[in-house]
Structure 1
Amino acid sequence: MSSLTWVFFGVSQEGSKSGPRKNLRLLKANYIKEFTFLRQAEDPLDLKNCYLDLFSLQAREESAIRQAEIEAERIGVGVTAEAQNIFDALSKTLPVRWDKTVIVVMDQVRVSHPYFPESVSGGTPAANERVKKVLELERKRLHARGSSS
């Protein structure tokens, strides 16, 4: 018994239908969980006048995936909303990353739960003091923002 494999791309046309350029949105088949065939539509691609730069599309996809991975690394796992807000605030002025639930600043200073200046450890004394000062200012700013809401 032979099996039939379907290669499916969802294609939708966006914007105006007039003019030589059209925006098309392609959906990869492995992202489709289910679909219902409604009817055969006109081909949204005029194959005689259509050119898809597959290298450019692949580069854009890879760039979007890298950006999504970078953004995902900035989200703490198992941390409170307050901890995430502190991380986001610190990241505006200092290089930060998560090490589980610990905020690592400048690859040397660590800020542990409950993310107060007293929770800062490691790094040079100057770096440690700088992080404590920024953390204290950011906590005041977040507290003021929270109480004004």
Structure 2
Amino acid sequence: MAAPGPGEYFSVGSHVSCLTCLGQRLQGEVVAFDYQSKMLTLKCASSSGKPNLNDVILINLAYVSDVDIINDRTETPPPLASLNVSKLANRARTEKEDKLSQAYAISAGVSVEGQQLFQTIHKTIKDCKWQEKNIIVMDDVVISPPYQVENCKGKEGSALSHVRKIVSMRCMCTAKTLKCTSHVTASIITMRNGRRRT
């Protein structure tokens, strides 16, 4: 069967198999179908192999050469699960703010280390933002480039102490990674030169 024509649709709960223009065979249960955009949503077995999970695939039928209905669902589909719309809206707003913050940091020329430190702090303290190239935490602590412990300024207290601890831990992790990387690089270089260190 080719992609559906006017008035044709896929019933929710039906099992279909699609052959993409790249020759990939996709098979699963229809979750949703939008005729106008020719988008089909399938629930498939999990690619991770875990039986309690599913993959959800969006397929643009404009790029499908063949669709076979394996099992057409004739009975009424089960009611849709209720959604907490306000929770979803909050999550979308938070994600948007995070992405805008990342985009701002990149456009302001913040170093990769600064961006990574911001992400590390933001995981535990949501109240942090950029002010040019400086990280502002809880409106009390300012971390300026090059984002080391000594670059943490603010009123002495628990907030400053906590932020310094996070920066210190981040610096130690970065130093260990660099040391490990340089050791591996040195080993590779010595092996290429035909010498082997003991």
| Structure exhibiting the larger radius of gyration computed from Cα positions | 2
Residue of structure 2 aligned with 1:103, choices 135, 144, 151: 135
Cα distance, 1:52 vs structure 2: 4.7
Any stretches of 5+ residues in structure 2 without a counterpart?
1-5, 7-34, 47-53, 182-198
Post-superposition shift, 1:73?
5.7
Q: What SS does the corresponding residue of 1:87 show, helix, strand or coil?
A: helix
Match among 98, 104, 113 for residue 82 of structure 1: 113
Q: What's the % identity of the aligned pairs?
A: 17
Residues 6-61 of structure 1 deviation map (CA, whole Å, 9 limit, x = unaligned): 24332223129xxxxxx683649xxx6x9324134317762515225164396786
Aligned to 2:27: none
Alignment CA distance shift 1:118-1:58 (3 Å): closer
Q: How many pairs does the alignment contain? A: 135
CA contact 2:43–2:55 (8 Å) conserved in 1: yes
Inter-partner Cα distance in structure 1 for 2:71 and 2:86: 23
TM-score (norm 2): 0.48
| 1:86-126 C-alpha deviation (Å, 9 max, x unpaired) | 2234345545523143212233211122112333233x222
Secondary structure of the equivalent of 1:51? coil
- Alignment partners' CA distance in 2, 1:25 and 1:82: 35
Q: TM-score, normalised by structure 1?
A: 0.60
Alignment-derived partner of residue 20 in structure 1: none
Q: Which residue of 2 aligns with 1:42?
A: 69
Say if 1:45 and 1:105 are closer, same or farther in 2 by CA, change over 3 A: farther
> Which has the larger share of strand?
2
Q: What CA distance in whole angstroms lies between the structure 2 residues aligned with 1:25 and 1:60?
A: 21
Which whole-Å CA distance do the structure 2 matches of 1:43 and 1:66 have between them?
A: 40
The reply to whether residue 121 of structure 1 matches residue 153 of structure 2 is yes
Q: Which runs of 5+ in 1 are unaligned?
A: 17-22
